[in-house]
Amino acid sequence: MKKLLTVVLLTLVIEATSQTKPVKIVFDVTSADSLTHQAVLRHVSLMATAYPQSSFEVVVYGSAMPMFVKGKSTVATAIQKLEANPKVSFKVCEQTMARYKVDKSQLVANVGTVPDGILEIVNRQAEGWGYIKEAHH
């Protein structure tokens, strides 16, 4: 019985410790659906609050381009609130920008650019970042 109690307590300690370990997560957003845009920002906001030592990056390409464009974004205010957190970043694919004829001056403030959104995600994964494909159902 004493061994069983020790194993249970040890398991609980390990689980509690593992949940506080900082993580790095990259979110992949390609949908034009504003509900998807809202969902990813909600997820990042909640996770950044719950895990303040963790890092989060939202990478947008393809049809999600309007998410980061001034005057078209339905989530610009939420992006600005999250951008104040140095552990949260937003990146948009420069190839997508060229296809949509969007230049950097048209982006929501503090949104960065990367040459290739897919390659950015692949590189983050190679660095050990977790991956979330964001979609609203």
Reported as type and span, the H/E element at residue 76 is: helix 76-83
What is the reported pTM?
A: 0.84
127 pLDDT higher than 60: yes
Q: Write the CB contacts of 20 (distance below 8 Å, at least 6 apart in sequence).
A: 51
Residue 113's pLDDT is: 98
Q: Which residue has the tokens 């300690």?
A: 13
The domains located in the chain, with CATH, are: 22-133 (3.40.1260.10)
Average pLDDT over residues 101-117: 97
Tell me how far apart the alpha carbons of residues 75 and 58 are, in angstroms, rounded to a whole number. Answer: 13
107 pLDDT higher than 50: yes
Residue 136's pLDDT is: 72
Residue 21's pLDDT is: 86
3-class DSSP state of 61:
coil
Residue 1's pLDDT is: 54
Q: Three-state SS across 8-38? A: HHHHHHHHHHHHHCCCEEEEEECCCCHHHHH
> Residues 46-104: pLDDT tens digits?
999 999 999 999 999 999 999 999 999 999 999 999 989 999 999 999 999 999 999 99
12 pLDDT higher than 50: no
Asked whether the beta carbons of 102 and 65 are under 8 A apart, the reply is: yes
Reported as type and span, the H/E element at residue 130 is: strand 130-133
| Residues facing residue 29 across a β-bridge | 60
